[in-house]
Structure 1
Amino acid sequence: MFGRGRLFNGIILELARPYRFDSSNKELLAAFRTSISALLEEANAFAPAHSRIYEEMILVANSTKTFDYTLKGTPRRHSILAAHQAEIDTAYVEFESASAYTIAGPSEWDLGSVVNWTQDLLQCVLRCPVPCDTDVFWLGCDSLKALRIRSILASVLQNVHSTDHVVQLPQDFVYRHPTAQAMANVLVSRTTDYPSVSLSIKTAEMTDLVRQMTEGQGAGVPFKLPARSSEVVLLTGTTGSLGSHILYYLHQCKDVRRIYALNRGDPDDLDSLRCRQENALKIRGITPEILRDGKVVLIPSDLASDNFGLEPSLFQELQNSVDLIIHTAWPVNFNYTLASYVRSLEGLQNMVNFARYTTSEWSPRFIFTSSVSVLKNWSGGSPVPEIALPNPEVAVGLGYAESKWTAEQILAEAADQGLSVSIFRIGQLSGSPNGYWNRNEWFPSIVQAANVLGCLPGIDAPLFHWLPVDSTAAVIVEMRSNLHRYVHLANPRPVPSNLVLQEVAALLQIPIVDLEDWFSRLNTVLKDTPTDARGRLDRVSSLLNGIMEDIAGRPIEMDLKNGLQCSETLRDSPQISRQDVSWWLRSWGAYRG
């Protein structure tokens, strides 16, 4: 495999002698790639998004450059890649430029023709049917595919303009316009001007979405009295960090006899979900043995579909028995606009309906994990009280925050109708006890970029109220019977941010520089680096540009009264330590001391 420092990876294969061919023959190479496409799809299904391989990035070793092997029979990676460097460089150049020469634009530029053409393009990239109003990120689009779609669209637009008119589409074009219809609208207008959406338009969009989700739902069908126990739990998002730890702590509870763990997946492919779940537990230091005793039931599902996409008998089993819902599943992508969260909100409304139409004696209680980001524009004084936030302006400016605010309003309306709801607004979470912390989150991304730039940015926030993810999970499980509608979760013993940054800098042996200077260095490196070689730095820049204003801006101090009152775990939470920092850095491969 090759691709270090690039935006995406590739592989080079040495074929057995009977199957070798002249790899410079484009037709033979294309036929070979097609012949192994099923294997490639199977491998990509298990690979992280950033490690997936495009067909065009499968190379076949030149017959004059055979692989070099060690005495043990393993390939010598460095010598092989060095021998094929020219072919690798060519593959990246051809991949980047292919769209400009091999993909023709629409035959006609009326809206209907462009919508059809855009659907065909998306189906080619995503390899599945693409309805014109369906969000591509719910069809398997990831950051690399979004990059490719944007590149193709920019090339097609460039071809219809004169050569002296440079067409530019923003890096987050697909995130801003995540459906074929939305993309086509922009293509037809041929605009390169993307004015910001006014505050009034955005708040109207958010409140309209709440109305659309709740209007007419359960008319005349009241919720039953809330369940008194939590013997049977429906838990979503158990392959994520918080969900994995909640699953572990629920499994430890003697009064919990069954946990239905619902995650996105094909109902006919339980083995794939089981493999994902085991891996999610292992990398966080949690034993997968908790899946062996029958207490945990893994269920591939689609929350936004009727009956969660389940067989009627299984759905009925859930409705007959579940007395607590803990909903943690939510896409965390700061490039998404609110439009890309509509399906998540539909899934939430389906879960509210599930609780309303339960066939058991009681309605299940409902716990939802919201986010501190819904307070991003809070102006009512500090600390922020644990109260409802009816004004959408408080969350405007980040699609993720807007979606969480919208979810809170949907649940608040259900609570007013009798559903027992607890909304946990969770602050920044740090890593698992073994140090695992998703390296794609903002702080791990900064540290990894700092390792490349040779300096770490200073962050103005005076305190880090970070709470370890396992402690957060323990608090939620401990408070699963609480009656508070709103609970804020953050570390009651914050640590000065400069102490954390100084420890990181000391371990990496790099200086701390002004934040503005650090961004200037990052942008300089990006400007001086070829597009195909920017690698993680490009993704880091895209992530941080969207949220850095909030991170480095006025800190949000939350009132923690309800959590401290009910949770011994929260009351006893320790400060982030030097040992924690070193474990994180080891997890990211940034420090080996």
Structure 2
Amino acid sequence: MIGSHPHLSSAVYVGNGRSQPAAILEVADGELSKLNADQVIDAVWPLIEEVNSLSPSHGQLHKSHLIIADSSKRFLRTAKCTLRRRETAQLFESEMREVFEAPARTPNYGIHIDVALSDELQSFVRMVYQKATGCESLKLDEDIFLVGADSLNIQDAISDLKAAVFSPQICIDTSWINQKAVYANPTTLTMTRFLGSLGRPQVPAAPEQLAERQQFLQKVYEQFRQQFPGGLRIGIGETSAPTTVLLTGSTGNLGSYLLDALLRRSDINTVICLNRSKNAAERQMMSAAEKGLCMDFNRDRIIFMHADLSQPQFGLEQHDYEYILSRTTVIIHNQWPVNFNLPLSSFEPQLQGVVNLVKFAGEGVCSPRVFFVSSIAAVNNWRRQIHLDSPTYDIPERHFTDLLLASGGYGQSKAIAADLLYYASSQCGLRGAIVRLGQVAGASKCGGGVWNTNEWFPSLISTSQTMGVLPEMLPLLNEIDWIPVDSAAQVFVELALDSYTPSSTADPRQRNMALFNVANPNTIPWGNLIPAVQDSAQDGLKTVSFPEWLAMLESSMPVQSEKAFVTLPALKLLDFFRGLQEGEHEGAKQTLLQTEVTVRSSLCLAKMGAITKKMMTAWLERWKA
């Protein structure tokens, strides 16, 4: 798309496997060819911003990662003028190395801020956050992640804050100023308070603090619950109506497999896909091709619509909204940013989307059922129940109202969404289910898509291969209950569409709002899969204890370069891995999702076996490709 700019003859994306892509731009003959590199970038930047708006944060282009080809170094093409992308990228290897291996910028503010001086500290934090977002008009209470900041451009902000803050009273431990802290304090006001607290002696968390957090989460829940119309009643839809599924987030990883599972069913009349991107159909086709999925996108059977669920009527034209109101019988709500670093405030548009979907179900001609993709993160703190006399470590197949069981902003948003749906079920008659997913792995079928390399396990494997050592156990995660993504999608579709046996009183679908746990019912110890990982390594991998592995990773922290994050991607998730070690040290145990009821409701889950060495080998091969 960038290559379509009138002043460019072509563009090549590079950086596969790196944390951030780059692009090489070839300037077309004309006026623009007389400009310097910075002027060329400024000229094409509006188009790149448009492309970035349609891409996930890790796939967006930054100005620092744009390479302007010199006029004496043209792109390589075939005799038929087809661009030879691979050879062209090799031609610019030195320029690419300069971009990707550039060291992290050293802060040059040259000032020091006493954290006790709140006004000066606030002004400095605002300046740092303005630079991270590029938003000069940033408000004091504005979330930087809602105005353009991401995990890449906050690194400079972290360095700036670490270099500037001090206290004349105590020695500040600046290790607390990290990515986790920025995600937890995304506004100028909250970060100012956080930095100020570093200048005071630290005390353990008190019960009052837990109560305050509970009140905050409840307040957010009430903010959205109160939006439900007082007289909203959702009846039972006409069962003879053709099955039309409204699927949100179909272009994502799980969404692509959900769509594939739906299209393979003969009892589905139409699938309506609501996505944030304007070019969803094109992206869906590319995703299906990459993953080896169904590509028969018959226009009579699948419809793509550009929608924003947080807006009234999903931001659709009136005739489109009325069309889906008249047809939809089942809603599968999958669209949700999968980012475990973001604070709860960043998920408010998604919570608004849940409210709007409930209203939609109430207005729908067929009173559609709602099936929501939830997560184990919504109840992850169940493991904190270890103080009980007879603790149960496996998470039951039932709904919990204690929002403190959720971990992080992502889990909290999923928990609040589930509470909203349960309220709509009890008060308005909404029907459907909450489907709580555990760890979703790569596809089980050969030729399937690549397991996202930004996730914790692929990052652990890539980092281990670089360091030459592999942890012999995984604290709190050692029993592998992963479910392949294609199987997870099949299970979800079965739970949403297959009829239950009326004589089975245990089937939760007899209730208005059911709750299912979806994880692999057959676990396998991590140690049984280690040989497959070792066999795939060219020079072999020796096993070490997890504390040793973590110490080796932490010793790499001073290496602040793009190359370090590429070869040691686990550095980006250092807080996550530290948390596993700390949790086990404190006596926490691994929690698994109970699946007995769900197994009786899904044939796919009932037949599922444990993760195998063959699957592991296939995932490793796909990461190498």
With structure 1 as the length reference, what TM-score do the two structures score?
A: 0.82
Equivalent residue letter for 1:288:
M
SS of 2:510's equivalent in the other structure is: coil
**1 CA distance for matches of 2:521 and 2:184?**
37
| 1:221 correspondence with 2:225 | no
Assess, with a 3 A threshold, how the Cα gap between structure 1 residues 220 and 40 changes in structure 2: closer, same or farther: closer
Q: Residue 358 of structure 2 contacts residue 424 of structure 2 at CA under 8 Å; is this kept in 1?
A: yes
In the alignment, what sits opposite 2:421? 411
Equivalent AA in structure 1 for residue 378 of structure 2: V
Q: Map of 1:229-268 to 2, 5 A cutoff?
A: 231-265=243-277
1:11-22 alignment runs, 5 A limit: none
Question: Aligned partners of 1:580, 1:466: CA distance in 2, in Å?
Answer: 11
Q: 2: CA distance between counterparts of 1:313 and 1:132?
A: 40
Is 1:483 the counterpart of 2:527? The answer is no
Question: Aligned partners of 1:17, 1:546: CA distance in 2, in Å?
Answer: 50
Structure 1 runs not aligned, ≥5 long: 102-107
Which of 356, 363, 369 does residue 362 from structure 2 map onto? 356
Correspondence for 1:209: 220
Please tell me the residue identity of whatever aligns with 1:345.
L
Q: How does 1:355-434 map to 2 (within 5 A)?
A: 355-358=361-364, 360=365, 362-378=366-382, 379=385, 380-395=391-406, 397-417=407-427, 418-432=429-443, 433=445, 434=447
1:478-524 residue CA offsets vs partner (Å, 9 max, x unmatched): 12144351111111222222112232122222122111111111111
Question: How far off its partner does 1:419 sit?
Answer: 0.8
Tell me, yes or no, if the aligned pair for 1:454 and 1:511 is still in contact at 8 Å. yes
Which of 459, 478, 481 lines up with 1:465 in the alignment? Answer: 481
Task: Note if contact 1:334-1:546 (Cα within 8 Å) is conserved in structure 2.
Answer: no
Alignment of 1:27-176 (within 5 A): 28-41=36-49, 44=52, 49-60=57-68, 80-82=92-94, 92=102, 96-97=105-106, 100=109, 121=131, 124=134, 133=141, 135-151=143-159, 157=164, 169-176=177-184
Report the residue type matching 1:246 in the other structure: L
Note closer, same or farther for the CA distance 1:166–1:99 as it changes in structure 2 (3 Å cut).
farther
Deviation at 1:447, TM superposition (A): 0.8
Contact 2:245 / 2:271 at 8 angstroms: preserved in 1?
Answer: yes
* C-alpha contact (below 8 Å) 2:132/2:154 kept by paired residues: no
State the distance in 2 between where 1:14 and 1:239 align.
30
Q: Deviations over 1:168-196 (max 9, x none)?
A: 74233442233455456668x59677988
Give the whole-Å Cα distance in 2 for the aligned partners of 1:208 and 1:251.
40
Aligned equivalents of 2:67 and 2:107: distance in 1? Answer: 16
In 1, distance between residues paired with 2:223 and 2:437?
26
Q: 1:299 is matched with which residue: 294, 305, 311?
A: 305
Alpha-carbon contact 2:133-2:149 (below 8 Å) kept: no
DSSP-derived class of the 2:348 partner: helix
Structure 2: distance between partners of 1:328 and 1:69: 42
Give the Å deviation of 1:247: 1.0
Does structure 2 conserve the Cα–Cα contact (< 8 Å) formed by 1:335 and 1:543?
A: no
8 A Cα contact 1:334 1:547, kept in partner: no
- Kindly tell me: are residues 524 and 6 of structure 1, through their superposed partners in 2, closer, same or farther at Cα, counting changes over 3 Å? farther
For 1:405 and 1:447, locate their aligned partners in 2 and report how far apart those are by CA, in whole Å: 30
Whether contact under 8 Å (1:12, 1:61) holds in the other structure is yes
Contact kept, 8 Å, 2:351 with 2:413, in 1: the verdict is: yes
Report which stretch shifted further, 213-222 or 438-447.
Answer: 213-222
Return closer, same or farther for 1:249/1:56 CA change in 2, 3 Å cut-off.
Answer: closer
- 2:337 alignment counterpart: 331
CA distance in 2, matches of 1:70, 1:306: 49
- The alpha carbon displacement at 1:332 in A equals 1.3
Deviations 1:84-119 (A, max 9, x none): 97x659x945x8248749xxxxxx957997798678
1:296-352 deviation digits (Å, cap 9, x = unpaired): 111111111111111122112222221211111111112112222222111111111
**Partners in 2 of 1:192 and 1:280 — Cα distance?**
49
Aligned counterpart in structure 1 of residue 614 of structure 2, from 544, 565, 579: 579
Preserved contact between residue 2 and residue 81 of structure 1 (Cα < 8 Å): no
Per-residue deviation, residues 424-459 of structure 1 (Å, max 9, x unmatched)? 111111112234211111111111111111111122
SS in 2 for 1:275: helix
Whole-angstrom distance in 2 between the partners of 1:221 and 1:47? 37
The superposition leaves residues 539-590 of structure 1 with CA deviations (integer Å, 9 ceiling, x where unpaired) of: 522325226645975222332222221221111112222221111011211x
The answer to whether the 8 A contact 2:273-2:302 is kept is: yes
C-alpha distance after superposition, 1:13-65 (max 9, x if no partner): 67678779899xxxx443232122234335545666435332234345678x9
Instruction: Give the counterpart of 2:490 among 474, 483, 495.
Output: 474
Query: CA separation of 1:305/1:565 partners in 2, compared to 1, >3 Å: closer, same or farther?
Result: same
- Aligned residue pairs total 561
> Quick check: 1:203–1:392 contact (8 Å CA) kept in 2?
yes
Task: Quote the offset at 1:122 in angstroms.
Answer: 5.9
Q: Distance in 1 between matches of 2:271 and 2:89?
A: 45
Identity within the alignment, %:
26
Q: What letter matches 2:245 in structure 1?
A: V
Structure 2 residue aligned with 1:278: 285
| Contact in 2 for aligned 1:226/1:420 (Cα 8 Å) | no
1:568 equivalent in structure 2: 603
Alpha-carbon RMSD across the aligned residues, in angstroms, is 4.0
1:373: how far off?
Answer: 2.3
Q: Contact between 2:347 and 2:413, CA under 8 Å: does it hold in 1?
A: yes
C-alpha separation between the residues in 1 aligned to 2:381 and 2:55?
37
Instruction: Structure 2 unaligned segments of length 5 or more: list them.
Output: 1-12, 111-117, 386-390, 498-508
User: Is 1:535 the equivalent of 2:573?
Assistant: no
Confirm or deny that 1:500 pairs with 2:529. yes
Counterpart contact for 1:366–1:420, Cα < 8 Å:
yes
Distance 1:355 1:138 in 2: 28
Amino acid at match of 2:464: A
Deviation at 1:82, TM superposition (A): 4.0
Specify whether residues 215 and 506 from structure 1 end up closer, same or farther in structure 2 by C-alpha distance, changes over 3 A only: same
What is the distance in 1 between the residues matched to 2:96 and 2:357?
53
Code of the residue aligned with 1:367 in structure 2: it is: F
Aligned to 2:554: 523
CA 1:166–1:474 in structure 2 vs 1: closer, same or farther (change >3 Å)? closer
TM-score (norm 2): 0.78
Once residues 307 and 111 of structure 1 are traced to their aligned partners in structure 2, the CA distance between those partners, rounded to angstroms, is 43
Query: Does structure 1 conserve the Cα–Cα contact (< 8 Å) formed by 2:280 and 2:304?
Result: yes
Distance across 2 between alignment mates of 1:67 and 1:160: 55
